[in-house]
Amino acid sequence: MKQDFKECPGSIDESKLFGFKSWQEHVAGVVSPLAAVSGYKANGRSNLTMESWCAVHGDRIVFASVERGSHLYGILRERGEAVVNFPTAGCFNRCMRTIELNGWDEDEIESAGLTAERAVEVDAPRVAECPLSLECRVLWEHEAGPGSSDVTVCLKIVNVAIDQELCKEGLLYNIRSRSDIETGVKTGPEAGVIRSLGSYDRLPE
């Protein structure tokens, strides 16, 4: 039996959901792939930004939310080119390190112990350790919501660089930090890999 929520459940302290835009996402806990987006800052140093609110359709990738104050947003506006890298478990924490190593003068890929490699179609570095890198150009951006501090950005994928390792390990997904609706107790966030349950017709009615 489902419960309906139009407002934040009383058990959850909305002011403590830092890192999340609102309680809806926190309660629903829908997964999305984990990406690390690379580009060059205006000073030529590499930048890496963790990005999990994203989806791919054909030759387009949409970032549902990019903070206006982030280096990534500046790169997308000024350069219009970036690489969306998908880490596996083996390099995920190095990618995450770039959140601390986020200074303007920091060469973030190198400082995090990762390797920058040349992209084929865009002027942005790829992360060698990530087995899937999508080279992208910005198509459009849109205000995410009235007065919001984040924007939705759509990019065109102009080159796909993929290593066979990805087939063995699979994409990492972000399992949202969730709050128990009854108790308000928070869990996660965690990372996971999709396990196949077989073809659609093998699933029960």
CB atoms within 10 A of CB 126: 24
Cβ contact 94:113 at 8 Å: yes
- Contact between 89 and ligand FMN (CB under 6 A)? no
How many residues touch ligand FMN under the rule CB under 6 A: the total is: 17
- Contact between 50 and ligand FMN (CB under 6 A)? yes
- Contact between 67 and ligand FMN (CB under 6 A)? yes
CB of 129 or CB of 150, closer to ligand FMN: 150
Residue 30: CB minimum distance to ligand FMN, A: 13
Cβ contact 51:66 at 8 Å: yes
Residue 97: CB minimum distance to ligand FMN, A: 11
Backbone angles phi, psi at 25, to 5 degrees: -65, -40
Peptide linkage before 87 cis (omega within 30 of 0): no
What is the β-pairing status of strands 35-40 and 46-51?
Answer: antiparallel
Residue 10: CB minimum distance to ligand FMN, A: 28
Cβ contact 160:169 at 8 Å: no
- Contact between 65 and ligand FMN (CB under 6 A)? yes
Give 152's contacts (C-beta < 8 A, 6+ positions apart): 62, 63, 64, 65, 66, 141, 142, 143, 144
Spell out, one character per residue from 94 to 113, where the chain touches ligand FMN: x when CB under 6 A holds, - when not: -----x--x-----------
Residue 189: CB minimum distance to ligand FMN, A: 7
- Contact between 55 and ligand FMN (CB under 6 A)? no
**Interacting residue ranges for ligand FMN, rule: CB under 6 A:** 34, 47, 49-53, 65-67, 70-72, 99, 102, 150, 174
